[in-house]
Structure 1
């Protein structure tokens, strides 16, 4: 398979600035013919991935990698991809080299404890019949929460362009919207909702992952009749001009880290699901994720479909 390049939202500036993040660099000594050392510098692609970058770098050190300079590996994810699509690809000019998918955060659909929706079936029926009157909430527009509702609406067969979604900058404001009746349902990462669900103020209707989430009494969307398997994923990327040799070494490092018991333990502690996928397989998966993300943003009316649909790089593969 030939080397492929994908455009991942928001990574251009992040990759340029990644070297300035303190404490996240890693390296590993490898013995080649000349006894040279291969080094990596692992950094988050922005504040959103600060924890992910730190955890990944920490597990890498525990697996035998040390701190140092070298080819940059930037941890970023779905939010950046969606942001780039909303930007009409302007920030995606061959910004990154895909290396490996690392982990994901499962999303949950929630309602107030006294909601008229007894279960996801009730909610789905309302969204299907009255998408413009079933008020939804979550993070800022275009974020994974919004994407999830778009996918749910499409999976139900609802008119996605009529979906009434309000984005809020904080989870506290989403909870307030639910409590006041400004929203009938909301979506967000399970880790952010566990405590409030446990207090009984909010009920979980369904989770977005293919399998149920431990210690959370909620079916999956697949079990609920909606063909959606979705996580707010994070992944490792190299610079757009990363040499093939460095890419192969970085993919190998990602494989070793994500196969380690330390990574599994770190994901459990953080409330993430480990979903490792690397190299060419990750690139193929990423191509489909770009298409899915672009499609749901178009269905939600957030991408101008009157403009040219010619690929700027983000719609797939450029040999």
Structure 2
């Protein structure tokens, strides 16, 4: 495990220069910053703040700042990351949704241009309604989805092609439901989706199980089904396979650094994240958030990211919403 001095030295000259600049006109800049490419309250935000809190609590990186840079379903954050070439003190929390954005939005560079650091976690998607919803079971929701007289409003915190949208469209495809039979309403992150559900602006939502664990536990939301291969502990909802639907689908999240960081910075950051994974605090966070450990670093994560980039391109082409 790297001590504080080892970590702060390893994050590179860029961080030290930023700190020195801060001393000239005010407080020193943070040694490490984690950018969240959507508003507070969503899965990326929760994950980044859990990483930050655990790094600080364990002394692995005592100075960590999380900041939100929303816009374009992650496009603005990715553009900022790529602009910060060589900055070994900046990370971006990302996942499947950001990969999808690069295939939906015009002029967005691929995630493979960034430096892959680590895939951290996986989690299933939950299909959710509010307690007073007319849909008490997933079967009842499917009946309405198939009914040409009903126009469902489905909300998600990812753009078309992102994990929330893909989970719903894969279910529709598997069951032979017209992909245009419901309106998918994109919200920039899980916080906006939760507000839309609670205000009845949408009829049903899709989100990572961990994003809404507190709302589920408080009875504010009712999960109808989860998309993972097994039931989620503490969540009273069947899997798709239990209902005879031959689909497993999980979302994942990881961390990227800007392109062009030094080999020393990359190795040091990967080592700190490996140490983070081994801490009891991080293992507790996995259980509390219903996350599955999916740790992958270095070239293995780079290969995974390239494969996901190709897979999502195929899925977006196949499951893109029909032209209006």
**TM-score > 0.5 by shorter chain:** yes
The question of 1:175 aligning with 2:198 is answered yes
Residues 29 and 65 in structure 1, CA contact (< 8 A), matched pair in contact too:
no
Q: Which residue of 2 aligns with 1:212?
A: 231
The count of corresponding residues between Structure 1 and Structure 2 is 269
Q: Which residue of 2 aligns with 1:46?
A: 36
Q: How does 1:79-94 map to 2 (within 5 A)?
A: 79-92=97-110
The question of 1:227 aligning with 2:250 is answered no
* 1:296-315 superposed Cα distances (whole Å, 9 cap, x missing partner): 333343599xxxxxxxxxxx
Q: Which residue of 2 aligns with 1:71?
A: 88
Q: Which runs of 5+ in 1 are unaligned?
A: 1-25, 31-35, 305-319
More helix per residue = 2
Residues 136 and 186 in structure 1, CA contact (< 8 A), matched pair in contact too:
yes
Shift of residue 241 of structure 1? 1.1
Q: How far, CA to CA, are the matches of 1:128 and 1:291 in structure 2?
A: 31
Shift of residue 235 of structure 1? 0.9
Please state whether the residue corresponding to 2:308 is helix, strand or coil.
helix
Q: How does 1:1-319 map to 2 (within 5 A)?
A: 29=6, 37-39=9-11, 41-46=31-36, 48=38, 49-67=44-62, 71-78=88-95, 79-92=97-110, 95-113=113-131, 117-124=135-142, 127=145, 133-139=151-157, 141-142=159-160, 143-168=162-187, 169-177=192-200, 183=203, 185-194=204-213, 196-198=215-217, 202-224=221-243, 225-231=245-251, 233-270=252-289, 272-301=291-320
Change in Cα spacing, 1:50 to 1:28, as seen in structure 2 (3 Å) is: farther
Over the aligned positions, Cα root-mean-square deviation in angstroms equals: 3.7
Residues 131 and 158 in structure 1, CA contact (< 8 A), matched pair in contact too:
no
Shift of residue 98 of structure 1? 0.8
Q: How far, CA to CA, are the matches of 1:66 and 1:199 in structure 2?
A: 33
Q: Which residue of 2 aligns with 1:10?
A: none
* 1:268-303 superposed Cα distances (whole Å, 9 cap, x missing partner): 345544321222322232233223333333334359
Q: How far, CA to CA, are the matches of 2:135 and 2:316 in structure 1?
A: 27
Q: Which runs of 5+ in 2 are unaligned?
A: 13-30, 39-43, 65-86
Q: How far, CA to CA, are the matches of 2:317 and 2:32 in structure 1?
A: 33
Q: TM-score, normalised by structure 1?
A: 0.67
Please state whether the residue corresponding to 1:171 is helix, strand or coil.
helix
Q: How far, CA to CA, are the matches of 2:163 and 2:4 in structure 1?
A: 32
Q: TM-score, normalised by structure 2?
A: 0.66
